[in-house]
A and B are shown apart, each in its own frame.
Chain A
Amino acid sequence: MNTPTANTLSEVRAGVAAILPAVIAMIPFALILGQQAASKGLTPLEVLAMSSIVFAGSAQMLAISLWTEPAPIAALTLSALLVNLRHVLMGASIASKMAPFDRWRAPAAFLMTDEHWAVAERRALGRPLTLAFWLGSSVFLFLAWQAVTVLGAVFGSFIRDPERYGFDFAFPAMFIALALGFWKGWRTAPVMAASGLVATAVHATAPGAWYIIAGALAGIAVAVALDTGAKPDVGKVRA
Protein backbone atom coordinates (compact mmCIF):
# COMPACT_ATOMS: atom_id res chain seq x y z
CA MET A 1 0.00 0.00 0.00
CA ASN A 2 1.44 3.33 -1.07
CA THR A 3 0.80 6.54 0.78
CA PRO A 4 -0.97 9.11 -1.40
CA THR A 5 2.21 11.23 -1.63
CA ALA A 6 4.45 8.36 -2.71
CA ASN A 7 1.80 7.33 -5.20
CA THR A 8 1.60 10.84 -6.65
CA LEU A 9 5.37 11.02 -6.94
CA SER A 10 5.61 7.70 -8.76
CA GLU A 11 2.82 8.79 -11.11
CA VAL A 12 4.68 12.04 -11.90
CA ARG A 13 7.82 10.01 -12.54
CA ALA A 14 5.94 7.59 -14.81
CA GLY A 15 4.59 10.57 -16.75
CA VAL A 16 8.05 12.08 -17.24
CA ALA A 17 9.44 8.72 -18.38
CA ALA A 18 6.57 8.21 -20.83
CA ILE A 19 7.02 11.62 -22.52
CA LEU A 20 10.86 11.56 -22.61
CA PRO A 21 11.18 10.15 -26.18
CA ALA A 22 8.80 12.85 -27.45
CA VAL A 23 10.83 15.53 -25.65
CA ILE A 24 14.04 14.34 -27.32
CA ALA A 25 12.37 14.20 -30.75
CA MET A 26 10.99 17.71 -30.22
CA ILE A 27 14.41 19.35 -29.70
CA PRO A 28 15.46 19.85 -33.34
CA PHE A 29 12.01 21.18 -34.30
CA ALA A 30 11.97 23.58 -31.36
CA LEU A 31 15.44 24.84 -32.33
CA ILE A 32 14.36 25.35 -35.95
CA LEU A 33 11.14 27.06 -34.82
CA GLY A 34 13.09 29.46 -32.61
CA GLN A 35 15.59 30.15 -35.39
CA GLN A 36 12.85 30.81 -37.96
CA ALA A 37 11.00 33.05 -35.50
CA ALA A 38 14.17 35.07 -34.93
CA SER A 39 14.68 35.37 -38.70
CA LYS A 40 11.14 36.83 -38.97
CA GLY A 41 12.06 39.45 -36.36
CA LEU A 42 10.53 37.98 -33.21
CA THR A 43 12.50 38.61 -30.01
CA PRO A 44 13.34 35.71 -27.66
CA LEU A 45 10.78 37.14 -25.21
CA GLU A 46 8.08 37.07 -27.91
CA VAL A 47 9.04 33.48 -28.71
CA LEU A 48 8.68 32.64 -25.00
CA ALA A 49 5.26 34.32 -24.96
CA MET A 50 4.11 32.34 -27.99
CA SER A 51 5.53 29.02 -26.78
CA SER A 52 3.85 29.35 -23.39
CA ILE A 53 0.50 30.91 -24.44
CA VAL A 54 -0.09 28.92 -27.64
CA PHE A 55 2.04 25.81 -26.84
CA ALA A 56 1.26 24.02 -30.11
CA GLY A 57 4.13 23.06 -32.42
CA SER A 58 2.42 22.89 -35.80
CA ALA A 59 0.31 26.02 -35.13
CA GLN A 60 3.43 27.94 -34.10
CA MET A 61 5.38 26.74 -37.16
CA LEU A 62 2.48 27.78 -39.37
CA ALA A 63 2.25 31.16 -37.61
CA ILE A 64 5.96 31.82 -38.07
CA SER A 65 5.88 30.87 -41.76
CA LEU A 66 2.96 33.34 -42.22
CA TRP A 67 4.48 36.02 -39.99
CA THR A 68 4.82 39.57 -41.31
CA GLU A 69 5.25 42.82 -39.40
CA PRO A 70 2.81 43.98 -38.13
CA ALA A 71 1.37 40.55 -37.28
CA PRO A 72 -1.75 39.69 -39.36
CA ILE A 73 -3.93 38.93 -36.32
CA ALA A 74 -7.10 37.65 -38.03
CA ALA A 75 -5.22 35.32 -40.38
CA LEU A 76 -3.00 34.00 -37.58
CA THR A 77 -5.96 33.33 -35.27
CA LEU A 78 -7.97 31.61 -37.98
CA SER A 79 -4.98 29.47 -39.03
CA ALA A 80 -4.32 28.45 -35.42
CA LEU A 81 -7.98 27.48 -35.08
CA LEU A 82 -7.92 25.47 -38.33
CA VAL A 83 -4.64 23.68 -37.79
CA ASN A 84 -5.65 22.80 -34.21
CA LEU A 85 -9.17 21.57 -34.98
CA ARG A 86 -7.78 18.04 -34.72
CA HIS A 87 -7.55 18.68 -30.96
CA VAL A 88 -11.35 18.56 -30.84
CA LEU A 89 -11.25 14.96 -32.01
CA MET A 90 -8.40 14.09 -29.63
CA GLY A 91 -10.19 15.74 -26.70
CA ALA A 92 -13.41 13.93 -27.54
CA SER A 93 -11.58 10.61 -27.48
CA ILE A 94 -9.78 11.21 -24.17
CA ALA A 95 -12.65 13.03 -22.38
CA SER A 96 -14.00 10.02 -20.50
CA LYS A 97 -10.48 8.95 -19.42
CA MET A 98 -9.97 12.39 -17.84
CA ALA A 99 -13.06 11.95 -15.65
CA PRO A 100 -10.97 11.36 -12.46
CA PHE A 101 -9.50 14.88 -12.86
CA ASP A 102 -12.91 16.27 -11.86
CA ARG A 103 -12.86 20.09 -11.91
CA TRP A 104 -9.22 20.09 -13.11
CA ARG A 105 -10.24 18.50 -16.41
CA ALA A 106 -10.75 21.76 -18.33
CA PRO A 107 -7.56 23.49 -17.01
CA ALA A 108 -5.54 20.31 -17.66
CA ALA A 109 -6.68 20.35 -21.30
CA PHE A 110 -4.47 23.42 -21.86
CA LEU A 111 -1.43 21.11 -21.77
CA MET A 112 -2.76 18.62 -24.32
CA THR A 113 -0.55 18.28 -27.42
CA ASP A 114 -0.37 15.62 -30.14
CA GLU A 115 2.49 13.76 -28.47
CA HIS A 116 1.13 14.10 -24.96
CA TRP A 117 -2.33 12.99 -26.02
CA ALA A 118 -0.83 9.86 -27.59
CA VAL A 119 1.13 9.08 -24.42
CA ALA A 120 -1.94 9.60 -22.21
CA GLU A 121 -4.12 7.45 -24.46
CA ARG A 122 -1.55 4.67 -24.39
CA ARG A 123 -1.34 4.86 -20.59
CA ALA A 124 -5.15 4.73 -20.32
CA LEU A 125 -5.14 1.44 -22.24
CA GLY A 126 -3.46 -0.26 -19.28
CA ARG A 127 -4.29 1.66 -16.10
CA PRO A 128 -6.61 4.58 -15.30
CA LEU A 129 -5.20 8.00 -16.10
CA THR A 130 -4.25 10.13 -13.08
CA LEU A 131 -3.84 13.88 -12.83
CA ALA A 132 -0.28 13.34 -11.52
CA PHE A 133 0.64 11.31 -14.62
CA TRP A 134 -1.01 13.89 -16.88
CA LEU A 135 0.82 16.81 -15.27
CA GLY A 136 4.15 14.99 -14.92
CA SER A 137 4.28 14.27 -18.63
CA SER A 138 2.77 17.50 -19.96
CA VAL A 139 4.54 19.99 -17.67
CA PHE A 140 7.89 18.38 -18.52
CA LEU A 141 7.13 18.73 -22.23
CA PHE A 142 5.88 22.30 -21.66
CA LEU A 143 9.05 23.44 -19.85
CA ALA A 144 11.34 21.75 -22.39
CA TRP A 145 9.40 23.43 -25.22
CA GLN A 146 9.90 26.88 -23.66
CA ALA A 147 13.60 26.31 -23.05
CA VAL A 148 14.49 24.95 -26.50
CA THR A 149 12.39 27.35 -28.62
CA VAL A 150 13.94 30.32 -26.79
CA LEU A 151 17.39 28.75 -27.21
CA GLY A 152 16.70 28.49 -30.95
CA ALA A 153 15.65 32.15 -31.07
CA VAL A 154 18.76 33.31 -29.19
CA PHE A 155 21.29 31.31 -31.23
CA GLY A 156 19.31 31.19 -34.48
CA SER A 157 19.86 34.89 -35.05
CA PHE A 158 23.57 34.11 -35.51
CA ILE A 159 22.92 31.81 -38.49
CA ARG A 160 23.43 33.85 -41.65
CA ASP A 161 21.79 32.93 -44.94
CA PRO A 162 19.70 29.97 -43.66
CA GLU A 163 18.46 29.25 -47.24
CA ARG A 164 21.93 28.10 -48.19
CA TYR A 165 21.63 25.20 -45.74
CA GLY A 166 18.04 24.42 -46.74
CA PHE A 167 16.67 25.44 -43.33
CA ASP A 168 13.78 27.26 -44.98
CA PHE A 169 12.65 23.83 -46.23
CA ALA A 170 12.45 22.41 -42.67
CA PHE A 171 8.81 23.40 -42.15
CA PRO A 172 7.52 22.30 -45.58
CA ALA A 173 9.35 18.98 -45.08
CA MET A 174 7.85 18.58 -41.62
CA PHE A 175 4.35 19.35 -42.89
CA ILE A 176 4.78 16.80 -45.72
CA ALA A 177 5.77 14.14 -43.18
CA LEU A 178 2.95 15.10 -40.79
CA ALA A 179 0.36 15.09 -43.60
CA LEU A 180 1.46 11.61 -44.68
CA GLY A 181 0.87 10.47 -41.08
CA PHE A 182 -2.82 10.82 -41.97
CA TRP A 183 -2.40 8.75 -45.15
CA LYS A 184 -5.25 6.21 -45.27
CA GLY A 185 -4.49 4.56 -48.59
CA TRP A 186 -5.05 6.03 -52.04
CA ARG A 187 -8.35 7.70 -51.13
CA THR A 188 -6.23 10.31 -49.30
CA ALA A 189 -4.42 11.20 -52.56
CA PRO A 190 -7.27 13.19 -54.22
CA VAL A 191 -7.84 15.06 -50.93
CA MET A 192 -4.19 16.12 -50.76
CA ALA A 193 -4.02 16.87 -54.51
CA ALA A 194 -7.08 19.15 -54.38
CA SER A 195 -5.85 20.87 -51.25
CA GLY A 196 -2.33 21.41 -52.60
CA LEU A 197 -3.35 22.66 -56.04
CA VAL A 198 -6.02 25.06 -54.79
CA ALA A 199 -3.72 26.35 -52.04
CA THR A 200 -0.92 27.00 -54.55
CA ALA A 201 -3.28 28.77 -56.97
CA VAL A 202 -4.74 31.00 -54.22
CA HIS A 203 -1.27 31.65 -52.79
CA ALA A 204 -0.16 32.98 -56.18
CA THR A 205 -3.16 35.29 -56.55
CA ALA A 206 -4.32 36.41 -53.07
CA PRO A 207 -2.33 37.94 -50.19
CA GLY A 208 -2.19 36.60 -46.63
CA ALA A 209 -3.00 33.17 -45.25
CA TRP A 210 -6.27 32.60 -47.09
CA TYR A 211 -4.64 29.99 -49.31
CA ILE A 212 -4.62 27.62 -46.33
CA ILE A 213 -8.35 27.97 -45.77
CA ALA A 214 -9.12 27.70 -49.50
CA GLY A 215 -6.89 24.63 -49.90
CA ALA A 216 -8.23 22.91 -46.77
CA LEU A 217 -11.84 23.49 -47.85
CA ALA A 218 -11.08 22.10 -51.33
CA GLY A 219 -9.53 18.97 -49.80
CA ILE A 220 -12.48 18.47 -47.44
CA ALA A 221 -14.97 19.00 -50.26
CA VAL A 222 -13.25 16.31 -52.35
CA ALA A 223 -13.22 13.91 -49.37
CA VAL A 224 -16.96 14.37 -48.77
CA ALA A 225 -17.78 14.12 -52.50
CA LEU A 226 -15.78 10.92 -52.97
CA ASP A 227 -17.16 9.37 -49.77
CA THR A 228 -20.75 9.74 -50.95
CA GLY A 229 -19.80 8.03 -54.21
CA ALA A 230 -18.06 5.10 -52.51
CA LYS A 231 -20.80 4.34 -49.94
CA PRO A 232 -18.51 2.66 -47.36
CA ASP A 233 -21.49 1.80 -45.11
CA VAL A 234 -22.93 -0.53 -47.75
CA GLY A 235 -19.60 -2.32 -48.01
CA LYS A 236 -19.48 -2.74 -44.23
CA VAL A 237 -22.93 -4.34 -44.17
CA ARG A 238 -21.99 -6.72 -46.97
CA ALA A 239 -18.79 -7.74 -45.17
Chain B
Amino acid sequence: MTVSPNTLLAIVMMGFATYLTRVAGLYLADRLPRSGAVRVALDALPPAVLTAVMAPAVLTGPIEMVAGLLTALAALRLPLIVAVAVGIASVAAMRFAFG
Protein backbone atom coordinates (compact mmCIF):
# COMPACT_ATOMS: atom_id res chain seq x y z
CA MET B 1 0.00 0.00 0.00
CA THR B 2 2.55 2.58 -1.15
CA VAL B 3 2.98 5.40 -3.65
CA SER B 4 6.28 5.54 -5.51
CA PRO B 5 7.65 9.11 -5.92
CA ASN B 6 8.07 8.65 -9.67
CA THR B 7 4.48 7.42 -10.05
CA LEU B 8 3.20 10.34 -7.98
CA LEU B 9 5.15 12.80 -10.12
CA ALA B 10 3.68 11.26 -13.28
CA ILE B 11 0.18 11.50 -11.80
CA VAL B 12 0.65 15.14 -10.71
CA MET B 13 1.97 16.09 -14.18
CA MET B 14 -0.99 14.34 -15.84
CA GLY B 15 -3.32 16.13 -13.46
CA PHE B 16 -1.73 19.47 -14.24
CA ALA B 17 -2.04 18.89 -18.01
CA THR B 18 -5.65 17.80 -17.58
CA TYR B 19 -6.63 20.81 -15.45
CA LEU B 20 -4.98 23.09 -17.98
CA THR B 21 -7.32 21.76 -20.67
CA ARG B 22 -10.34 22.15 -18.36
CA VAL B 23 -9.67 25.76 -17.44
CA ALA B 24 -8.25 26.97 -20.77
CA GLY B 25 -11.61 26.90 -22.53
CA LEU B 26 -13.10 29.34 -20.02
CA TYR B 27 -10.58 31.98 -21.04
CA LEU B 28 -10.35 31.09 -24.73
CA ALA B 29 -14.12 31.07 -25.25
CA ASP B 30 -14.22 34.22 -27.35
CA ARG B 31 -10.94 33.63 -29.14
CA LEU B 32 -11.32 30.17 -30.72
CA PRO B 33 -11.88 30.44 -34.47
CA ARG B 34 -15.35 29.31 -35.56
CA SER B 35 -14.19 28.30 -39.05
CA GLY B 36 -11.05 27.68 -41.05
CA ALA B 37 -8.21 25.19 -40.75
CA VAL B 38 -7.70 25.55 -36.97
CA ARG B 39 -11.35 24.79 -36.32
CA VAL B 40 -11.25 21.75 -38.64
CA ALA B 41 -8.14 20.51 -36.85
CA LEU B 42 -9.77 20.93 -33.42
CA ASP B 43 -12.92 19.11 -34.56
CA ALA B 44 -10.86 16.23 -35.98
CA LEU B 45 -8.73 15.93 -32.85
CA PRO B 46 -10.94 13.68 -30.66
CA PRO B 47 -11.59 10.88 -33.23
CA ALA B 48 -7.98 11.11 -34.46
CA VAL B 49 -6.54 10.70 -30.95
CA LEU B 50 -8.95 7.91 -29.99
CA THR B 51 -8.28 5.99 -33.22
CA ALA B 52 -4.51 6.32 -32.78
CA VAL B 53 -4.85 4.97 -29.24
CA MET B 54 -6.74 1.81 -30.16
CA ALA B 55 -5.48 0.98 -33.66
CA PRO B 56 -2.28 -0.95 -32.73
CA ALA B 57 -4.24 -3.14 -30.28
CA VAL B 58 -6.95 -3.84 -32.86
CA LEU B 59 -4.64 -4.41 -35.87
CA THR B 60 -2.51 -6.85 -33.85
CA GLY B 61 -4.13 -10.04 -35.21
CA PRO B 62 -7.20 -11.48 -37.01
CA ILE B 63 -9.16 -12.13 -33.80
CA GLU B 64 -8.74 -8.55 -32.59
CA MET B 65 -9.55 -7.14 -36.05
CA VAL B 66 -12.82 -9.07 -36.28
CA ALA B 67 -13.70 -8.13 -32.70
CA GLY B 68 -12.92 -4.47 -33.48
CA LEU B 69 -15.25 -4.59 -36.47
CA LEU B 70 -18.03 -6.15 -34.37
CA THR B 71 -17.47 -3.50 -31.68
CA ALA B 72 -17.72 -0.72 -34.27
CA LEU B 73 -20.94 -2.14 -35.73
CA ALA B 74 -22.42 -2.46 -32.24
CA ALA B 75 -21.31 1.08 -31.33
CA LEU B 76 -23.26 2.57 -34.25
CA ARG B 77 -26.55 1.15 -32.93
CA LEU B 78 -26.21 0.32 -29.23
CA PRO B 79 -25.14 2.10 -26.03
CA LEU B 80 -21.42 2.44 -25.36
CA ILE B 81 -21.31 -0.13 -22.59
CA VAL B 82 -23.08 -2.76 -24.76
CA ALA B 83 -20.59 -2.18 -27.58
CA VAL B 84 -17.72 -2.74 -25.14
CA ALA B 85 -19.36 -5.94 -23.89
CA VAL B 86 -19.67 -7.14 -27.51
CA GLY B 87 -15.95 -6.47 -28.02
CA ILE B 88 -14.87 -8.32 -24.87
CA ALA B 89 -17.22 -11.27 -25.45
CA SER B 90 -16.21 -11.72 -29.10
CA VAL B 91 -12.48 -11.66 -28.27
CA ALA B 92 -12.98 -14.16 -25.44
CA ALA B 93 -15.13 -16.45 -27.62
CA MET B 94 -12.71 -16.40 -30.57
CA ARG B 95 -9.69 -16.99 -28.33
CA PHE B 96 -11.52 -19.93 -26.80
CA ALA B 97 -12.43 -21.32 -30.23
CA PHE B 98 -9.18 -20.67 -32.12
CA GLY B 99 -6.60 -20.03 -29.42
Contacts and interface: CB of A to CB of B under 8 A. Distances in A.
Given A84-B17, A177-B84, A46 B4 contact: yes
B75 A176 contact: yes
**Chain B interface, DSSP helix/strand/loop, else mixed:** helix
Interface stretch (A4-12, A128-136, A196-204): A196-204
Contacts of A163: 95
B19 interface: yes
Contacts of A145: none
Contact of A173 (B32, B35, B76, B84): B84
A92 B36 CA distance: 17
A84 B18 contact: yes
Given A45-B2, A84-B21, A177-B80, A220 B44 contact: yes
A62 B51 CA distance: 12
A155 to B, nearest CB: 15
A169 B64 CA distance: 8
Contacts, number: 298
A173 B52 contact: no
A118 B20 CA distance: 19
Contact of B24 (A53, A88, A174): A88
Contacts of B97: none
Interface residues of B, number: 72
Of B1, B25, B51, most buried by chain A (CB within 10 Å of CB) is B51
Interface string B68-89: 1001101110011101101111
B44 A191 contact: yes
Contact of B23 (A106, A172, A233): A106
Contact of B76 (A50, A76, A174, A180): A180
B52 A212 contact: yes
Interface of A: 25, 28-29, 42-46, 49-50, 53-56, 58-59, 62-63, 65, 70-73, 76-78, 80-96, 98, 105-106, 109-110, 112, 163-183, 188, 191-192, 195-200, 203-204, 211-220, 222-224, 227-228, 233
Given A53-B15, A81-B20, A216-B48, A179 B25 contact: no
Contacts of B26: 91-92, 95, 98, 105-106, 109
Contact of B40 (A195, A203, A223): A223
Interface of B: 1-4, 6-29, 32, 35, 37, 40-59, 64, 67-68, 71-72, 74-76, 79-81, 83-84, 86-92, 95
Nearest to A72: B10
23 contacts: A28-B81, A28-B84, A45-B1, A70-B4, A71-B9, A76-B10, A84-B21, A165-B92, A166-B87, A172-B68, A173-B68, A175-B50, A177-B75, A178-B80, A179-B50, A181-B75, A188-B47, A203-B56, A211-B56, A214-B52, A215-B48, A223-B40, A224-B37
A83 B12 contact: no
A212 B3 contact: no
Given A89-B25, A96-B29, A196-B51, 7 more contacts: A46-B11, A65-B53, A70-B6, A73-B10, A73-B13, A173-B88, A203-B55
A228 B37 contact: yes
